[in-house]
Amino acid sequence: MDTLIKGGTVVTEHGVAPLDIGIAGGRVAALLSPGEAVDAGRIVDATGLLVVAGAIDAHVHFTGSNPYPEEELFDGTCSAAMGGVTTIIEMPHSNPPATTLEAFEAKKAMAMRQAVVDFGLWGGLDGRNCNELPRLREAGALAFKGFLCSSQRDRAASDPSGLPALTDAELVEAMRVVGKFGGLIGLHAENHDLLIEAQARLRVAGRTDMRAHAEAGPEIAEIEAVSRIITLSRETGTRCHIVHLSSGKAAELIAAAKGTAPVSVETCSHYLLLDEDDLVRIGPWARCGPPLRPRETIDLLWTSVLNGTIDILASDHCPYLPEAKSIGFESVWKAGMGLTGVQTTVPLLFSEGVVKRGLSLTDFARMTAAGPARLFGLYPKKGTIAPGSDADLVFYRPDEEWTITGQSFPGRAKWTPFEGTRCTGRVVRTMVRGTDVYADGTIMVSAGFGTFQHAACS
């Protein structure tokens, strides 16, 4: 064995048990009874720690919102490692967006130069690129992202990283193409017309306050879009994944549809912990789309987390520079729409879900690791701790209390809507393929350590 991890409590979606882990060649070689004699070149003492399968964050925007994309991809993956994320899946927003094979390959090459954790890529849907989708799949796209509302509705129409709202006809055609090769379509589920009308009405009224942003994204827009996705997914048979769900009522629609439509869903830590009043309190640092919802909606979302309706947790990390957010104090419409989160999302689910709300450790592992690995075709290489799987491991000190602060984040986007939040359970070490990527408060590898993950990899 290259490495023996001894004394820890191993957590996967299948169970929790005291086990030692043998690693060879970057993969799990054996799960051993505690204290079983093994020759190993290195011994890691995990006494008192939880050893959990590395998280997969399937929703990050490292290159779309920041004018320093290469820098942010390096810094963002450092943040990922610090937050217990061993694989990220980057959204297609970039300049240009990853809607063509050329743009996709350019983004892949950039990520190969910069990533410190493993990574996959989404392809983009723009309503005109259906012929490109099989080529993007062959190049390694794990899924394809589209919008039912324009990603540019709040930015300049010339924004080169944006994606347009798909018409129903364009979406159905994309579903038919992607369905032929068993692919996955991820969708931002908000009704475009309802959003445009609401924001126009608020702007005409001269509203620039934080609560105006919440009113500009009414929950009915999300509920209607989710209902439409369920119908189209059921009728085409194509797998559809609803990203960053904020609506508890929409979650109930998804729960009712499972078993009849191939739909899956994610939510984010900010929709589970922050509400509409927090948007007012925090200001533009909490502006995101969909917007934060009333407290009763959060309670419904937690019900959907605890009963298993929500398949995975993701961050929707979007690292605007501080000046692109703080300008929102002049007018909410000027603030960049997105939050940092890749460093905090998984620890927040542990602290709020496992410690406070009774989420089981096995469900924690399912939502953060096994669930996304299965959804994106990476299981069992990723997402579990079993012989033959990549030794992607995260070590938690479960009782340690700590405080979130943006100044601890790598890079320029040193801000968080969770500034000052107290957490229980801290990531103290992160391994990717058996190598320490983060330990003792330090990133241990160089840019380019991360490897590209193709759905067909084994």
Residues 14 and 76 in one domain: no
20, 5 contact by CB (below 8 A): yes
Task: Convert the pLDDT of each residue in 266-282 to its tens digit.
Answer: 999 999 999 999 999 99
Domain contains 415 = no
Q: Is the pLDDT of residue 155 over 50?
A: no
In the predicted model, what is the mean pLDDT of residues 385-395?
Answer: 99
Average confidence score pLDDT of the chain: 96
Q: Is residue 451 part of a domain?
A: no
Per-residue pLDDT band at 159 (split at 50, 70, 90) = low
Of 159, 71, 154, 150, nearest to 116 by C-alpha is 71
pLDDT tens figures, 31-48: 999 999 999 999 999 999
Claim to verify: residue 47 and residue 95 sit in the same structural domain: no
* pLDDT of 63: 87
In a domain, 457, yes or no: no
* pLDDT mean over 216-236: 99
Whether residue 455 lies inside any domain: the answer is no
**Cβ contact 319:275 at 8 Å:** no
Quick one: angle between helices 219-236 and 248-257, nearest 10?
10
Is 42 inside a domain boundary?
Answer: yes
Assess whether 265 and 289 both reside in one domain: yes
Q: Which two tokens stand for residue 49?
A: 């720690």
Are 194 and 296 contained in the same domain? Answer: yes
In a domain, 448, yes or no: no
User: Is the domain of 244 the same as that of 331?
Assistant: yes
pLDDT for the residue 249: 97
Sheet containing 435-439: order of strands: 15-18, 9-12, 50-53, 393-403, 422-432, 435-439, 442-443
Residue 382 included in any domain: no
Place of tokens 């000046």: 323
Q: Distance between CA atoms of 246 and 273, rounded to whole angstroms?
A: 11
Kindly report which listed range (155-164, 182-191, 320-329, 382-391) carries the lowest average pLDDT score. Answer: 155-164
For residue 384, pLDDT over 70 is answered with yes
Q: Count the neighbouring beta carbons within 10 Å of the beta carbon of residue 160.
A: 12
Does residue 385 carry a pLDDT above 70? yes
Q: What is the pLDDT of residue 458?
A: 35
What pLDDT, on a 0 to 100 scale, did the predictor assign at position 157? 47
Predicted confidence at residue 162, as pLDDT, reads: 79
Q: Residue 134 pLDDT > 80, yes or no? A: yes
What pLDDT score does 67 carry? 84
**234 and 222 share one domain:** yes
Q: Are residues 180 and 36 both part of a single domain? A: no
User: Which helix H or strand E contains 16, and what residues bound it?
Assistant: strand 15-18
Which range of residues forms the domain containing residue 326?
A: 54-375
Please check whether residue 54 is in contact with residue 432, taking contact to mean a CB–CB distance below 8 angstroms.
yes
Q: Give me the mean pLDDT over the 225-246 stretch.
A: 99
Sign of CA dihedral 189, 192, 195, 198: negative
User: Tell me: the pLDDT tens digits for 289-326?
Assistant: 999 999 999 999 999 999 999 999 999 999 999 999 99
Among 114, 39, 17, 56, which residue's Cα sits nearest to residue 430? 56
* In the predicted structure, residue 21 carries a pLDDT above the cut 90: yes
Give the CATH number, domain containing residue 155: 3.20.20.140
Has residue 196 been placed in a domain?
yes
Proportion of the chain above pLDDT 90, given as a percent: 93
- pLDDT tens string 330-361: 999 999 999 999 999 999 999 999 999 999 99
Per-residue pLDDT tens digits for 181-210: 999 999 999 999 999 999 999 999 999 999
Residue 456 has pLDDT above 60, yes or no: no
43, β-bridge pairs: 4
Residue 29 sits in a domain of what CATH number? Answer: 2.30.40.10
| Structural domains in the chain (count) | 2
